[in-house]
Structure 1
Amino acid sequence: MQQGYSNREASRIVGINLRTGKDGATAGIRRPPGSRSLRSEWRLRLPGASRYLREEDRIHIADRLREKVSIRTIAAELGRSPSTVSREIRRNGALWRGRQWTYRPHAAHRRAEERRPRPNTGKIGQHAELRDFIQDHLTLRWSPEQICQALRARFPDRPEMHVVHETIYQALYVQGRGELRRELTRALRTGRARRRPHRQSCKRQPRAIKDMVLISDRPAEAADRAVPGHWEGDLIIGKDGKSAIGTLVERTTRYVMLAHLPVDHSAGSTRDALVETVRTLPPHLRRSLTWDQGSEMASHQEFTLATDIPVYFCNPASPWQRGSNENTNGLLRQYFPKGTDLAAHTRERLDSVAAELNSRPRKTLGWETPAERLSKLLATTRQ
């Protein structure tokens, strides 16, 4: 690295792990002047270096100001941005005897330390009505973004009742704020007590199903969601892979229907449950069904004969080809957590959950509910 190589390249040449190379860099290795990472490594070598100016930094600023050195020179010596040094002088300097602006490092450091805690209460904690509204709708399993849109629709002229969804997440997850009850995190779709980064989803192995028709042969009207009656389907599996619930989502309206599979999810059981579910639909809402390549749809031809609904299969490891259904399965896990016995739920319970999902406002529908959008389409069809 003293010869000008990057940390990654130097680690590869020496034959050590990249992390080990970084540890060596922070231990005192200097790069040639003008190297891209020289400033950051200089600051990392300082004991206790952080994003905040230390008292020693402020003393250096005061000394160099007395020597009439420019702010850009001082910033380069500290490894900081010139705007950081300029802002520090402006914020923490003071008038000397009411006439001359001066920078006193110890007083500036004390002033900055007193300002740092920021003990202000957040917006949700300041307004009881706002807090109660959010908590009530979290209990109904509304997402934070749905709640924010409902607040703007219900209180259009009251900006104190408007928040963004990140504010709700912060009130739930940031420790010490206490603006919302922590147990309400269980009402979120993930149910997690703390936030996690997104991970790459696991890819499923392709399965051979006789006489499959792939999604590439599906009618174009299904792809653009302009015509209702095209459905996406899948299963959510219960404890030990025994019980299951079939999920059907209409692509245009996001309307949800659930099929009861309390005993098993074999091809025959899945076929019978889906036939029973879709027979309640009017003919113009039975145009197609898109499924993944799961073995539970091995009897897709019998299903088509019984319902006149052709079945199209997604490509292997392509869950985004039935994205509405994947999203709905995530919502359903709030009601039917992973690792639980789905056979314990009755047909009435499934109907109740579907009705609750169909009455939630959806961003993709312009904050209408799936039930409202479906009713409009049905009314238009009757006319």
Structure 2
Amino acid sequence: MCAIVVGFLRSCQSTVSERFDFEGLSGIMELNIAHVLRTIAAQQPESDCLCSERRQLSWAEFDDRTDRFAGALLGAGLLVDERRRNGLPPEISSPFARVGIYLHNGTEYLEAMMGAFKARAVGININYRYLAEELTFVLADSASEALVFHSRFAPLVSQILPQLPRLTVLFQVPDDSGHELVPGARWYEEALVEADPSVAIALDSSLSGSDHYCCYTGGTTGMPKGVIWRQEDFCEGALGINLRDETGQHSQDRLFNSLKPGRLRALPTPPFMHGAAHWNAISALLAGGAVCIQAVPERLDAADIWRTAEQFSATSLLMVGDAFAGPLLAELRRALERGEPYELGALRHILSGGATLSAVNAEALRQLLADVTIVDVLGSSESGRAAVSSRPPRSGAPAT
């Protein structure tokens, strides 16, 4: 039985406005992720977008690189096509191509996901801890035709490819593993350099709130399951974005008034392969903020997380309950004992989701970070955010 569950629900500043008729935009807009991101890039091309130790991207650079990844997908034939429904069960059939994202956290992860949206394709989040059986299942179940993967996963990709005849477009991101290029794959950066971004820009007028977003669950209750949302429903129902004006239409003016360049710098510390992390990242991007990415994404490295928050002046940090709170608290205390406390004056919110945050650990965070509001978020891939509770800053500072 199919496991997809349907939810109800380039160069930079000087060329952004030339590539996109920003001045000619009407006040009414589609609530489509790629469209909103393009609009934001035209409005604030020089603002920070992605911040990591290895690479920092402005909005203009992010716009160009996502156009290029979209161009690489389209150039490989991953066009919107009703014939794609042929041979697929009706509950998963769709004209939109699916693109597996099999990466550790990094700028490439968000480039691939947002670039897929620009090509009117759908990024498929893949748990990098899967073994061959689960990985094969997700790629087959999602009908993925393309895959972006780190070199450290190349041996497993090579092993399963013969079982996935639909999967023909491969982009490999180098890392320190030293693995060679998988036969038939392209190096990710070379693909971007060679891609034609104009083919993605040409799709702008067809972007729709009915384009898809998909999130695969981790498979803790059986095999992994994919939840499909219309992008408009996802943005409003899952992310809580409201751009509707008094007429009920999505308003460009409301978007511009909500932008927070320089004021929102989110640090999602869990792997982007989990919905909570990439939802947090997408929310920050759709608000015109920046996403900070730690230097050591392969494991929970508390010192690296706090260094990243300090280096990029993160204003919010997302974690997963006590599993993250314990190591993060221990590192804060060690830094105090060393007489080298982290400079976290910009941090205003710590968000926790996906697991329980105990009252003891929440209070300990409030004691060590007096200006921070602790926010507990409850939700699911199928319903979005269901409940939010917060503990105000101990200092009495306003919970902005």
Same-fold call, TM > 0.5?
A: no
**TM-score (normalizing by structure 2):** 0.24
Bigger share in helix = 1
Q: Over alpha carbons, which structure has the higher Rg?
A: 1
TM-score, normalised by the number of residues in structure 1: 0.25
